[in-house]
Amino acid sequence: MRLEHKVAVITGAASGMGKAIALLFAQEGAKVVVSDIQKEAAQITVDEIEASGGQAVAIATNVTQEQEVQQLIQKAVKEYGTLDILVNNAGIMDNFVPAADVTDDLWERVFAINTTGTMRTIRQALPIFTEKSSGVIINIASAGGLNGSRAGAAYTASKHAVVGLTKNVGFQYAPLGIRCNAIAPGGVATNISSTINEPNAFGMERAMIGMNLNPKTGESHDIAKVALFLASDDSSFVNGTVIVADAGWTAY
């Protein structure tokens, strides 16, 4: 029970890595706020947690809307009295669109969810963490945030920005008892592929060049175990960094 008496907010927790993290955190004793833009799907995650004896609540949140992000953190504190762990998992792909073809609308939508949404939840959580002199932030970045061509221009840039934000927050707030780290998954079987619609042929061909080097496709629970390590006191000396979980793909 490494997270006993802890309260965790997890965005994008209705499916994939977010759901796996929510289930594992609850199993380890955390009270979990399951946040997702799809309330019914989030409630299914809650039902699974409760069926196993855990505590959870579903809160519908569109992370591109500042008011909804504020309400998410406020409701979490109202429900469970505090906040200890924030996991920023909500994200979308970008149809592998290369720089020459990217539109303002696509660029802004990808950044709104992947990067600005992450900043907004962190901004709401930090005053709570600062007051109690403790708190853990875990951002789901990507191997695409460390390399140049795992996706299109917008996704790649947005995840690089998440890595930079992680390091900035981790260092600046370290004296206040707050840790901020990121996980960079490689190829993981999740439903983020459902956000790909009519992929750009050129961009996809360029991004797929290195796929034959991928030793293994991971599962959501593989990432959840890394998140548990970062959320627990086992990682008390780990801060402002990115843990790559990709079976060695980016080691080549």
**pLDDT by 10s per residue, the chain, length 252:** 999 999 999 999 999 999 999 999 999 999 999 999 999 999 999 999 999 999 999 999 999 999 999 999 999 999 999 999 999 999 999 999 999 999 999 999 999 999 999 999 999 999 999 999 999 999 999 999 999 999 999 999 999 999 999 999 999 999 999 999 999 999 898 776 677 788 999 999 999 998 888 899 999 999 999 999 999 999 999 999 999 999 999 998
Residues taking part in catalysis: 155
Check: CB of residue 17 under 8 Å from CB of residue 46. Answer: no
Q: What is the pTM of this model?
A: 0.96
Strand partners, 32: 8, 56
Check: CB of residue 43 under 8 Å from CB of residue 65. Answer: no
The Cα 74–Cα 78 span in angstroms is: 6
Which homologous superfamily is 7-251 in? Answer: NAD(P)-binding Rossmann-like Domain (3.40.50.720)
| Cα 24 to Cα 28, 44, 55, 146, 176, distances in angstroms | 6, 15, 12, 27, 27
The Cα 171–Cα 169 span in angstroms is: 6
